[in-house]
Structure 1
Amino acid sequence: MSEIVFVALKKPGGATLCSALPHNKSGIPIAARRLGTAHTSMLTFARDGNELWVMCGPLSVGVDLALFKPFAIDFLRPARGPGLFLMEARAIDAQRPHTTLLDFGRYSDAAVEDVIALAQGLQQVLGYVPELQDWGNDC
């Protein structure tokens, strides 16, 4: 096992983990679990080689970075519908579906600032800043 790279970042309001499991069922290493549980009010990211875990409180979701790269933060402004605002891991294999890791709730201009700060902080564990993708209005 390599050294775990870890970062705890401010959780944007309304952010929830998607497809999350309790830590003891997610396969997260105990060392990463300890780091995550020390920062329960934050979003915690831990990377060990090609494995990345996103933690919030007692829940976590894992991603095999050999299968998913790059990450992107996508938003759709509300128009007729509520819009959307999420972080996805994009599958390398075009036949595989993308994985939504975080749902930031309803789009707002104020939320964008928090999510941009989150994206900048992710460079520590991903090695790059996830791209922000503006999908326009949800007409």
Structure 2
Amino acid sequence: VITLYSKNGGKAGAHSWVPSSDTIGSLSYMIVQVYQHFYRRQFKFSHRNYTALNTLHFAHLPANSFLVLLPSRDEAVKHFQDHIEIVLGGQKIFEDLTTEREALGKAFASLNTVRRKGKANVKIEPNLRSDAKFG
């Protein structure tokens, strides 16, 4: 997670940066770095579609598209020059989410659909592609 945003002051309130949050319900958006699963507990910084540009991949996610945060312990994520490696507990979480990928996609689609009374529903999709991995 790079940064967090929260909506203040009712229906017309502005979204503003917040340094932290005790609950996911108080957030409106998050900016996250997206990693590509490489091997077991290893995740690449650059998504294969961005390697030619040597750039990182980021996403702007609505708060209801955020599932889990690895423990904030220093050893939870090890940083290397070209990838990160997560702890065994993080790998288990990733594997569990991967097996439920299709069901999670349907749930996110439903959560990110704005229902309007008497008007057509509007689908709001986070900036993630169908081939992107959880990150």
Higher helix fraction (1 or 2): 2
Greater relative contact order: 1 or 2 (C-alpha under 8 angstroms, separation 6 or more)? 1
Higher strand fraction (1 or 2): 1
Q: TM-score, normalised by structure 2?
A: 0.32
* Higher radius of gyration, 1 or 2: 2
